[in-house]
Chain A
Amino acid sequence: MNLDELESTAAREREQCAGQKCRLRVCTGTGCASAGSDRLTEALRQRAKERGLEGEVTVTEVGCLGLCAEGPLVKVDATDTLYQNVTPNLADNVLDSLTGEAAGITVCNEKQPFFTRQNRVVLENAGYIESDRIESYIARDGYRALLHVLAEMSPADVVAAITQSGLRGRGGAGYPTGLKWSTVAKATGPRKYVVCNGDEGDPGAFMDRSVMEDDPHRVLEGMAIAAYAVGANHGYIYVRAEYPRAIKRLKTAISRAERQGLLGSSIAGTSFSFTIDLRVGAGAFVCGEETALIASVQGNRGTPRPRPPYPAMSGLWGCPTLINNVETLGSIAPIIRCGAPWYAGIGTEKSHGTKVFCLTGAIKNTGLIEVPMGITLREIVFDIGGGIPNGGTFKAVQTGGPSGGCIPEKYLDMPVDYESLREVGSIMGSGGMIVMDQTSCMVDVARFFMEFCMSESCGKCIPCRVGTAEMYKLLTRIATGEANMNDLAKLEELCEMVRETSLCGLGQSAPNPVISTLRYFRDEYLAHVNEGVCPAGVCPMNARKGVTTHA
């Protein structure tokens, strides 16, 4: 498919959509699907048919609209209204609303900050396109960036554009994407590879899942542009096994793109060829780490190895390999389409562009949001998130998953960017943002994450394998009221040791949740140790009650 053909496909699709008298866009993202939107879609189609509205009403299934807390969501284009909590039994009410007053269904206010404060770049298509139809992606300027790059830009131009955009890796560490691309572009080897990291290990987040499920072609397009820029002809997408829908949709997307000549050999009639294979993970958090991921793609146990050499020099089968996160690759097409200066203009001095967060925990509007870098945590939690429900009070917000930390109230006005978050002892991470209220005990939170790191440690190096287990034991002693001040001192010592001596990021960052809670909520630890009470009333503290148990 060349640019002319792409444009005529886009025009045809847009025309067809415009010709539909009344389009109902039903959110079938993971949240709404579990809330019954699949049955709702069926019910809407069925009832429309029974009412003889078949030709007039088109029901399309779209991806996550963001406000998952109020799902299932339905957008009625004809009346420009969004409805929330539309359970399958309300299908008739939706159809009634087309001709008269809406009754019995709740309108969702699209003027609320949840929607108006967002800036959707990676999620620009969510809620608009049908993921299984490539035409639907093309109608929203899909694959335009790829064809533009192939026709008008040299690989070096592409690397320069990405560098100029200021994009940094969204997989957690924030490494400058342009720099990584240029390293791989300069590296020499018999072959080169592009790998998309879709392992999304952070427990409590689903940003990458939504992108892969709702807009799979965006990932493929980003990979193809990256491959052209660095000189690769083959790529892998590594998806975790827990995401069967993402796997299915990516497979479909790959075969559709191949059929249209947008992947495969001689793309758009040029000499550039690029194929993509899917690799399915098997439930190991450490496989998100890049060297472990490479081992896993090659069919081995996913254990990390020391770096350097970095994958950019020696990755898959010893060849130069570019590894980027799903969201990083999802940002590429818009950067090419709208220009690097546009992207660089969003955000702060050192963190450009937008970031997708998954907002969960003790917060009213749980869901998926995309915000400009530099927005404050307060704006996210209280404006977009709608604050703490049930009259609760804010206690902390956790970012960065098991590698991150808990940020207390006093830093709520801090801008969200890579440097600021690091300064307060957390990290940007991949985008999990979990809000906690007064019912959460910070010792228990630290213990929760330590248990996670302990079970996910691959066991290759001793500081992490033994250190996480020891720290978990100490935290358990604190939580049961058995600990004394020496235990606390030992815990802090271990934090330091494990952080400094572990081989990979998992071990190096495992102490972070402990360090940050000790830093901001030390009094809670002291209450457990000295007074034998858990202020939040979460920990069992049974040792102090005369019952000895060993968890």
Chain B
Amino acid sequence: MRDLLPKTAPPTSDKRWRIVDTAMRRNGYAPDGLIETLHSIQETFGYLDEPSMRYVASSLRVPLGKVYGVATFYHHFQLKPQGEHSCVVCLGTACYIKGSSNLLEAVRKRFGIRSGETTPNNKLSLLTARCVGSCSLAPVSVLDGQTLPHLSPDQLVEAICALDETEEAAQ
């Protein structure tokens, strides 16, 4: 039935919306595919903005408030664009015991950003995680998807600087 109803058009003509449409179709446009759909938007576009949430709301026929409610409930979903590089500092127990707060502090000192923030030049986003599952190598951080083990604060800052010109991120 749902398929017969008039469909809403994607927010932009970007071809990548097809990926999102596929995710919704796979779940038969059922409202319980909401989280899967939001995952596909974030994977494709990096974050969830208002037009994309409106699109999902009308496609799955759920209130916008519910989409927003789900998007804000889960820490994984980002509502702001992310920087070119991402640094995820693990704040799980094993990493905490090995001094992960010093890593966070070092990044804040050097690049002027706190957890959840992005440098003004959009180069680096700083995020935190509750355990990334490499506890035996604590403290760890994940830099652009790569897990860096047994980090000292200096090593982390160095590794970030080594990512192309992130150096400029520090004012």
Residue positions of A touching B, CB distance < 8 A: 30-31, 33-35, 68-69, 200-206, 209, 241-243, 279-285, 296-302, 358-362, 366-368, 398, 401, 432, 434, 436, 440, 448-449, 452, 456, 458
Q: Could you tell me if B129 and A242 are in contact, using CB atoms closer than 8 angstroms?
A: yes
Chain A residues near B148 (CB-CB < 8 A): 34
Please state if A299 and B35 are interface contacts (CB–CB under 8 Å): yes
Task: Choose among A204, A300, A362, A440 the residue with the greatest number of B CB atoms under 10 Å from its CB.
Answer: A204
C-alpha gap A31/B36 in the complex (Å) = 29
- The answer to whether B32 and A69 have CB atoms under 8 Å apart is no
From A31, A282, A302, A366, contact of B39 by CB (8 A): A282
B132: Cβ under 8 A from any A Cβ: yes
Q: Which residues on B are within 8 Å of A, measured CB to CB?
A: 30-36, 38-39, 66, 69-70, 73-77, 91-98, 129-138, 140, 147-149
| Chain A residues positioned under 8 Å from B92 (CB to CB) | 203-204
Q: CB < 8 Å: which of B70, B91, B98, B131 contacts A205?
A: B131
Contact A209/B149 with A284-B75, A299-B70, A301-B69 known, Cβ cut-off 8 Å: no
Partner of B97, one of A34, A201, A440: A440
Please measure, in the bound complex, the distance between the C-alpha atom of A209 and the C-alpha atom of B136, giving whole angstroms: 13
Nearest residue (CB) in B for A362 is B97
In the complex, the answer to whether A203 meets B75 with C-beta atoms within 8 Å is: no
Evaluate whether A31 and B130 lie within 8 angstroms (CB atoms) in the complex, with A204-B95, A299-B35, A360-B97 already known: no
**16 more A-B contacts (CB under 8 A) besides A202-B93, A299-B33?**
A34-B134, A34-B147, A68-B137, A202-B131, A204-B95, A242-B132, A280-B39, A283-B76, A285-B130, A299-B31, A302-B73, A302-B74, A358-B135, A360-B135, A434-B93, A452-B130
* Contact of A241 with B76 at beta-carbon distance under 8 Å, contacts A297-B32, A361-B97 already known: yes
A165 to B93, CA, bound (A): 33
What's the least CB distance linking A381 to chain B, in Å? 14
> Bound state CA distance, A280 and B38, in angstroms?
11
Asked whether, in the complex, the Cβ of A282 is within 8 Å of the Cβ of B74, the reply is: yes
- Which residue of chain A lies nearest to B138 when distances are taken between CB atoms in the complex? A360
A301–B35 alpha-carbon span in the complex (Å): 9
CA distance A35 to B148 in the complex (A): 8
Assembly CA distance A452 to B90 (angstroms) = 13
What are 19 pairs between A and B in contact, CB < 8 Å? A35-B149, A202-B131, A204-B95, A209-B133, A241-B76, A279-B35, A282-B38, A282-B77, A283-B76, A299-B31, A299-B34, A299-B36, A301-B73, A360-B135, A361-B98, A362-B97, A434-B93, A448-B93, A456-B130
B36 partner, pick from A280, A283, A436, A458, beta carbons under 8 A: A280
Scoring A284, A367, A440 by chain B CB atoms within 10 A of each residue's CB, the highest score goes to: A284
**A470 shortest CB reach to chain B, Å:** 22
A77→B31 CA distance, assembly (Å): 52
Check if B74 sits within 8 Å of A206, measured CB to CB.
no
The answer to whether B35 and A280 have CB atoms under 8 Å apart is yes
What is the chain A residue whose CB lies nearest that of B92? Answer: A203
Is A367 a contact partner of B136 (Cβ separation < 8 A)? yes
Residues of A contacting B30 with CB < 8 Å? Answer: 299
Also in contact, A366 and B93, with CB within 8 A (given A34-B149, A280-B36): no
